[in-house]
Structure 1
Amino acid sequence: MGASLDIVSRGPGIRTLPKRTHVQYAALCYRVRDGKMQILLITSRGRRRWTLPKGWPMQGRSPARAAAREAWEEAGVKGLVNELCVGGYTYQKRSSNRPHLALVYPLEVMELDKKFPERRERKQRWVSPKRAAEMVEHPELAKLLLGFRPYSLKH
């Protein structure tokens, strides 16, 4: 299934994750319109909550490339993914009693495909970072969305 982590660094300000934490890779899909950044949220398939596209590690793909692939499968987006992780958030899946950690990679959206594998299973919405933070359920993700700044907004 997915990668799992036994322990994360115990440095100052870093909290320890429980043993056997499942790791997924998420894409923070963004674009700039009229000088303002917008973030793409999608609904989860099960409980229809607003979240980022994310999925399990993929053999032969870096974490960022796996996140980009999930963004296409779940939202039909293509763009420039950054290999630098901008943060992460923990969450619990109903189908598992193990904790999950989503590592987040920014993806600047360049194209939107009309046909993609999960187009009939999810809704999507472009919103401001502030609105995105209000819509997601996970406080760590909300904080990450509010603080996200692309490395350059040269549009």
Structure 2
Amino acid sequence: MALSGGGFEVKSFSFRCARMSSSPLLSRKGRQQQRYDNQRRLVAGCIPYKLNREDDTQSDDLLDRVEVLMISSPGRYDLIFPKGGWETDETAGEAACREALEEAGVRGILNDTVLGVWEFRSKSTQDTCSLEGACRGYMFALEVTEELECYPEKDCHERKWVHLAEAYKRCRYDWMREALNSFKNLLTGKPVSTVPELSESSSLWIVKPNAIALC
């Protein structure tokens, strides 16, 4: 799948997230390599999931066997999916895998289909009208094959496996529920919405290390 019009292409991919070396895992810091498009911070994330081989319901429905991994934020009841800034030295898929490892401590196989693209604002800029703090997020599905006991942001995020029905209830934002809808379509072979084209004036390679968006 490609994003055209901005001089940059997101190539179709399906790969097992690369293992890091034996050195300690560290989160990337700073915005020195952050991608932007028309002042919107580009973000990549994923819905980590697994299929239970045996379920108490003994249902033949595939979706009844699916659990998704969500992570907490301090002092919040609702949950989020791992996501973060998409940087200039990685593809959107690589960024999504990195965020899953840093925030949720999981590795797995990333599906090559983009679940969709959503625009939202950082929590600190919800009430402003400017583009400052605006984000454009690309979401994918990640089949989890490994869970790490220690990961970079373990002290910031607790992880919780939940069935789809509970995931909908625990989502913090509407766009997350829409991503879950696309995720369900992907698993059941139904069409997933296509990714919109980038505008002609997009500036994906502009670096803005002083941006204050906190998506």
Q: Same fold (TM over 0.5)?
A: yes
In terms of fraction of residues, the more strand-rich structure is 1
Separation in 2 of the partners of 1:44 and 1:83?
28
> Match for residue 138 of structure 2?
103
Is the contact between residue 88 and residue 103 of structure 1 (CA under 8 Å) also seen in structure 2? yes
Separation in 2 of the partners of 1:68 and 1:145?
18
Structure showing greater Rg = 2
Identity of aligned residues (%): 24
CA RMSD of aligned residues (A): 2.3
**CA deviation after TM superposition for structure 1 residue 147, in Å:** 4.0
- TM-score (normalised: structure 2): 0.58
> Match for residue 162 of structure 2?
127
- TM-score (normalised: structure 1): 0.79
SS in 1 for 2:123: coil
> Match for residue 107 of structure 2?
78
Is the contact between residue 40 and residue 135 of structure 2 (CA under 8 Å) also seen in structure 1? yes
Separation in 2 of the partners of 1:48 and 1:117?
22
> Match for residue 25 of structure 1?
44
Cα 1:88–1:48, aligned 2, differ >3 Å: closer, same or farther?
farther
Separation in 2 of the partners of 1:103 and 1:64?
9
**CA deviation after TM superposition for structure 1 residue 133, in Å:** 1.4
Larger relative CO (CA 8 A, sep 6+): 1 or 2?
2
Counterpart of 1:28 in structure 2: which amino acid? I
Separation in 1 of the partners of 2:68 and 2:146?
14
Counterpart of 2:43 in structure 1: which amino acid? Q
Structure 1 consecutive aligned stretches of length 4 or more whose deviation exceeds 4 Å = 45-49, 150-153
Structure 1 residue aligned with 2:152, among 110, 113, 117? Answer: 117
What is the number of equivalent residue pairs in this alignment? 140
**CA deviation after TM superposition for structure 1 residue 95, in Å:** 4.0
> Match for residue 12 of structure 2?
none
> Match for residue 18 of structure 2?
none
SS in 2 for 1:59: coil
Separation in 2 of the partners of 1:45 and 1:61?
29
Counterpart of 1:82 in structure 2: which amino acid? N
**CA deviation after TM superposition for structure 1 residue 23, in Å:** 1.4
